[in-house]
């Protein structure tokens, strides 16, 4: 159950031209309450960005999903300032409704995968060579604002805005749309700009022409070249993204500090795989989603790097989705993302200490005794750390009667679960009257934990 959430965010200038924003879902536990620091809502920050639009500007809006009325009103206000013909909008088809007020609006033409997964906005004046960019992990939705951890960067740079505007128009393609693998080689990815004293590189996906492994190769190289540390907050890190997984493991094996926080609902498998190797990767503690897609490389060195954008560490992000990310070389920006990492890691670290004691608890069977019934319910509580569940029924003498190997979807980490049993053994025969022991085992990154309960069958 979610509690009501605020629009909290901590914003700070990294340079005169770069601002970084993090929302802070409202505290749903005492630990979270201690670190809440409301300043300006991330949605308010996007509204302020839209308010910079002036007559003569072009506005490009490219969002996977956007539903909040506050942001919709900001889009309408921008349209009234720049004119209907100068504001353009692309959205993922599955969510591309409700924008009839923007005549220049298209969706990506797909239902489901692949996704137009970008979350960026551009305001640009090509006559006076002025422009600015908004990008990050933030979808302007109620959940994106109030429940999920998100980040965004606002950067004043004509060169950077022009790159993203060109990418937008490349996808727009005369309103016929050119998305995903329909794209051919593009000049807009793998470009470098300088903003003040900060070097920023820009990448879009999918572009296999950049490298046979696409934009994943960029991240692999960054991990291979790291000299000190890799810290990440990642919504979806897939175990099937074997190249990135291998690059992270390689950095760890070379003695670098590797720490991560991943979303409990999306990335428990990679967390389990990494922790089994001794890596310090934990499941998030947010009741919503850890929706970040950022990492910090070599924090505390002379050249720390921040990677942020819409890009989850998955094969789909690399090979199919329309995505973007920035590689930012900046101590100031790294400081801000390091603070966000430390906050989320501190909250999530509690999941580790509970692995051996609380991962599976309160196992029970009802009704008990099971008298003249055809089935019983096996109930149990799981922590967010559990990645696999096995339920075994034994006689009082230790003979196995029945076992269940459950897949994710048949059980749900971080909540109470139930499994119905028809009181038949593995041979599909009715079990005999007597006393039985139920054992519920949960596998976590630190090993297997179990809880037991006795019950009786009376015929």
Query: CB within 8 A of 313, min separation 6: which ones?
Result: 219, 234, 236, 237, 238, 241, 244, 293
Average pLDDT across the chain, whole number = 86
DSSP states along 69-109: HHHHHHHHHHHHHH-GGGEEEEE-GGG--S-TT-SSEEE-S
pTM of the model: 0.73
Q: Which fold has domain 356-458?
A: Immunoglobulin-like (2.60.40)
Q: Considering the chain, tell me which residue range(s) the CATH 2.60.40.2550 domain(s) occupy.
A: 356-458
Query: CB within 8 A of 398, min separation 6: which ones?
Result: none
Q: Which residues of 236-250 are buried (b: 16+ CB within 10 A; e: fewer)?
A: bbbeebebbbebbbe
Q: Considering the chain, tell me which residue range(s) the CATH 3.30.870.10 domain(s) occupy.
A: 8-353
Which tens digits make up the pLDDT trace of 96-142? Answer: 665 666 778 888 888 778 999 999 999 999 999 999 999 999 999 98
CA–CA separation, 12 and 19 (whole Å): 6
pLDDT for the residue 189: 87
8-12, 157-161, 200-204, 232-236: least confident range: 8-12
Closest CA to 160 of 127, 186, 198: 198
Which tens digits make up the pLDDT trace of 311-337? Answer: 999 999 999 999 999 999 999 999 999
CA–CA separation, 310 and 85 (whole Å): 27
Which tens digits make up the pLDDT trace of 13-67? Answer: 445 799 999 987 754 333 333 333 344 689 999 999 999 999 999 999 999 998 8
Give the percent of the chain with pLDDT over 90. 64
Query: CB within 8 A of 56, min separation 6: which ones?
Result: 82, 125, 127, 128
CA–CA separation, 57 and 308 (whole Å): 26
Does residue 4 register a pLDDT over 80? Answer: no
Domain range 8-353, its CATH number among 3.30.870.10, 3.40.50.10490, 3.40.190.10, 3.50.50.100: 3.30.870.10
Tell which wins on pLDDT, 107 or 211: 107
76-80, 344-348, 396-400: least confident range: 344-348
Which tens digits make up the pLDDT trace of 218-268? Answer: 999 999 999 999 999 999 999 999 999 999 999 999 999 999 999 999 999
Which tens digits make up the pLDDT trace of 148-166? Answer: 999 999 999 999 999 999 9
Provide mean pLDDT across the span 404-425.
87
Does residue 435 register a pLDDT over 50? Answer: yes
Residue with tokens 């309960």, as numbered in its chain: 453
Give the percent of the chain with pLDDT over 70. 87
48-62, 202-216, 261-275, 424-438: least confident range: 202-216
pLDDT band of 287, cuts 50, 70, 90: confident
Does residue 434 register a pLDDT over 80? Answer: yes
């Amino acid at each position: 159950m979610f509690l009501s959430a605020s629009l909290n965010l901590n914003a700070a200038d990294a340079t005169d031209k770069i601002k970084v924003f993090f929302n802070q879902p409202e505290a749903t536990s005492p630990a979270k309450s201690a670190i809440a620091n409301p300043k300006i809502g991330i949605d308010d920050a996007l509204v302020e960005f839209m308010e910079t639009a002036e007559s003569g500007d072009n506005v490009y809006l490219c969002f996977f999903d956007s539903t909040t009325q506050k942001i919709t009103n900001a889009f309408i206000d921008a349209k009234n300032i720049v004119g209907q013909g100068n504001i353009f909008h692309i959205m993922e088809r599955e969510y591309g409704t409700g924008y009839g007020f923007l005549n220049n609006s298209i969706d990506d033409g797909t239902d489901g995968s692949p996704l137009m997964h970008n979350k960026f906005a551009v305001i640009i004046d090509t006559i006076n060579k002025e422009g600015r960019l908004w990008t990050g992990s933030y979808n302007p939705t109620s959940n994106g604002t109030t429940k999920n951890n998100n980040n965004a960067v606002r950067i004043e740079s004509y060169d950077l805005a022009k790159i993203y505007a060109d990418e937008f128009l490349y996808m727009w393609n005369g309103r016929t749309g050119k998305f995903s693998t329909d794209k051919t080689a593009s000049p807009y990815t793998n470009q470098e700009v300088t903003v003040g004293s900060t070097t920023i590189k820009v990448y879009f996906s999918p572009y296999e022409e950049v490298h046979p492994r696409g934009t994943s190769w960029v991240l692999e190289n960054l991990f291979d070249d790291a000299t000190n540390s890799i810290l990440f907050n990642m919504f979806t890190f897939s175990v099937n993204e074997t190249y990135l997984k291998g690059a992270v493991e390689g950095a760890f094996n070379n003695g670098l500090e590797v720490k991560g926080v991943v979303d409990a609902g999306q990335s428990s498998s990679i967390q389990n795989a990494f922790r089994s190797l001794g890596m310090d990767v934990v499941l998030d503690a947010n009741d919503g989603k850890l929706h970040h897609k950022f990492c910090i490389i070599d924090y505390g060195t002379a050249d720390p790097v921040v990677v942020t954008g819409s890009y989850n560490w998955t094969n789909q992000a690399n090979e199919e989705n329309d995505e973007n990310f920035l590689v930012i070389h900046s101590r100031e920006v790294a400081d801000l993302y390091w603070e966000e990492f430390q906050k989320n890691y501190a909250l999530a670290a509690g999941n580790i200490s509970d692995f051996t004691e609380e991962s599976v608890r309160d196992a029970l069977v009802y009704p008990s005794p099971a008298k003249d019934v055809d089935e019983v319910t096996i109930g149990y509580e799981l922590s967010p750390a559990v990645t696999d569940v096995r339920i075994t029924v034994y006689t009082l003498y230790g003979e196995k009667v029945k076992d269940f190997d459950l897949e994710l979807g048949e059980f749900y980490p971080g909540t109470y679960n139930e499994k119905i049993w028809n009181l038949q053994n593995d041979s599909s025969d009715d079990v005999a009257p007597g006393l039985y022991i139920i054992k519920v085992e949960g596998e976590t990154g630190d090993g297997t934990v179990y809880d037991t309960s006795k019950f009786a069958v009376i015929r």
